[in-house]
């Protein structure tokens, strides 16, 4: 017979450090004429790549929320329950802020609405999978966003390449992705997720993200082809995928996901959150400074 202490220990499945708080915060970022067309390293290719990534967030993060919410009733650990609330709220805020950015990209003549519709069709197909498989996809993509977030916060050169009008959005997003990087994974573990499921869907999700991301970047390039520069494209490819490139440098971290005993907090980078948190809070719009935190529950 299990003692109360043993039962409590079994029920405590959250592995998020106690010094990490997962709380949603609306920021109210605005994007207008102050944002240059090529806001990342003044580079055509990299800027369109990140614009394409932004288009993926609202629909993609709703998929994440739905996949985690499906297992909410099975969670016994009070700490993980509260973290799921925070995760849902943070993802809702990310969607709202990226909708604002995507409107700016749309105003530049990009086919954002068409891309959003196409993504919804793709995700609706994924929603036909078993619920735990959908959660495995979320875990895989959360690992990818978390390692990109860590790279952004750790590398001064990447942040400094961003125009000052765009940098706060991406730093804020990176902070919150780091805060909740293990929530979906801990829910997956409690839901009985297997190593085979998470390993398969890490490969599947990475390939799918690569295809869709490349497709969307290409569509933006085609709508902006009068500004195409072979030199800029080559420079952008090198900055992303060359030696110590922003994306190529993530390959070892991506591979860590395949360790049988892997957990997102194996690398405790919680201290980096505090390094940027106070600075980014200075960018909260006045109407949201008193904790206006509309969330999707």
Read off the pLDDT of residues 94-148 as tens digits, 9 standing for 90 and up: 999 999 999 999 999 999 999 999 999 999 999 999 999 999 999 999 999 999 9
Please check whether residue 239 is in contact with residue 43, taking contact to mean a CB–CB distance below 8 angstroms: yes
Please check whether residue 257 is in contact with residue 201, taking contact to mean a CB–CB distance below 8 angstroms: no
Mean pLDDT of 270-286: 92
Residue 294, pLDDT score:
47
Tokens 């997962």 belong to residue:
22
Mean pLDDT of 214-237: 94
Output b/e per residue, 247-283; b: 16+ Cβ within 10 A. eebeeebeeebeeeeeebbeeebeebbeebeeebeee
Residue 205, pLDDT score:
98
Token duo for residue 177: 């992705």
Q: How far apart are CA 87 and CA 69, in angstroms?
A: 10
pLDDT (tens digit, 9 = 90+) per residue, 151-191? 999 999 999 999 999 999 999 999 999 999 999 999 999 99
Please check whether residue 177 is in contact with residue 145, taking contact to mean a CB–CB distance below 8 angstroms: yes
pLDDT (tens digit, 9 = 90+) per residue, 35-44? 999 999 999 9
The enclosing H or E element of 87 equals helix 78-107
Token duo for residue 12: 């405590």
Mean pLDDT of 49-78: 96
**Paired strand residues for 40:** 162
Residue 28, pLDDT score:
96
Residue 259, pLDDT score:
97
Q: How confident is the model at residue 289 (pLDDT cuts 50, 70, 90)?
A: confident
Please check whether residue 268 is in contact with residue 17, taking contact to mean a CB–CB distance below 8 angstroms: yes
Q: How far apart are CA 191 and CA 177, in angstroms?
A: 22
Q: How confident is the model at residue 10 (pLDDT cuts 50, 70, 90)?
A: very low
Q: What percent of the chain shows pLDDT beyond 90?
A: 88
Q: For the chain, give the mean pLDDT.
A: 92
Residue 291, pLDDT score:
64
Residue 13, pLDDT score:
84
What are the angstrom distances between the C-alpha of 99 and each of 84, 284, 296? Answer: 23, 17, 15
Q: What percent of the chain shows pLDDT beyond 70?
A: 94
Q: How confident is the model at residue 8 (pLDDT cuts 50, 70, 90)?
A: very low
Residue 6, pLDDT score:
36
DSSP string computed for 223-289: HTGGG--HHHHHHHHHHHHSTT-TTGGGHHHHHHTTSTT--GGGS--HHHHHHHHHHHHTTS-GGGT
DSSP string computed for 177-214: HHHTTTHHHHHHHHTT--HHHHHHHHHHHHHHHHHHHH
Residue 251: pLDDT over 80: yes
Please check whether residue 110 is in contact with residue 222, taking contact to mean a CB–CB distance below 8 angstroms: no
The enclosing H or E element of 152 equals helix 131-154
Residue 9: pLDDT over 50: no
Q: How confident is the model at residue 4 (pLDDT cuts 50, 70, 90)?
A: very low
Residue 87: pLDDT over 70: yes
Mean pLDDT of 82-103: 96
Residue 33, pLDDT score:
87
């Amino acid at each position: 017979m299990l003692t109360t202490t043993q039962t409590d220990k079994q029920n405590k499945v959250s592995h998020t450090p106690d010094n990490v708080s997962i709380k949603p915060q609306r920021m109210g970022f605005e994007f207008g004429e102050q944002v240059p067309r090529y806001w990342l390293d003044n580079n055509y290719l990299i800027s369109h790549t990140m614009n394409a990534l932004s288009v993926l967030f609202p629909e993609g993060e709703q998929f994440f929320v739905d996949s985690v919410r499906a297992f909410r009733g099975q969670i016994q650990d009070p700490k993980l329950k509260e973290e799921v609330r925070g995760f849902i709220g943070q993802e809702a805020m990310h969607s709202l802020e990226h909708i604002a950015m995507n409107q700016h990209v749309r105003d530049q003549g990009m086919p954002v609405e068409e891309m959003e519709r196409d993504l919804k069709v793709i995700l609706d197909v994924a929603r036909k999978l078993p619920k735990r498989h959908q959660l495995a996809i979320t875990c895989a993509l959360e690992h990818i966003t978390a390692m990109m977030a860590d790279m952004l916060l750790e590398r001064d050169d990447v942040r400094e390449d961003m125009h000052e009008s765009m940098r706060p959005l991406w730093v804020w997003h990176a902070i919150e992705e780091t805060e909740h990087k293990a929530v979906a994974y801990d829910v997956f573990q409690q839901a009985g997720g297997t190593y085979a499921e998470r390993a398969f869907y890490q490969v599947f999700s990475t390939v799918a993200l690569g295809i869709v991301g490349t497709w969307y970047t290409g569509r933006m390039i085609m709508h902006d082809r009068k500004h195409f520069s072979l030199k800029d494209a080559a420079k952008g490819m090198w900055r992303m995928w060359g030696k110590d490139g922003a994306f190529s440098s993530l390959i070892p971290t991506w591979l860590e996901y395949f360790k049988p005993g892997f957990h997102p907090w194996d690398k405790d980078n919680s201290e980096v959150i505090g390094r940027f948190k106070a600075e980014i809070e200075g960018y909260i719009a006045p109407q949201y400074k008193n904790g206006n935190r509309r969330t999707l529950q």
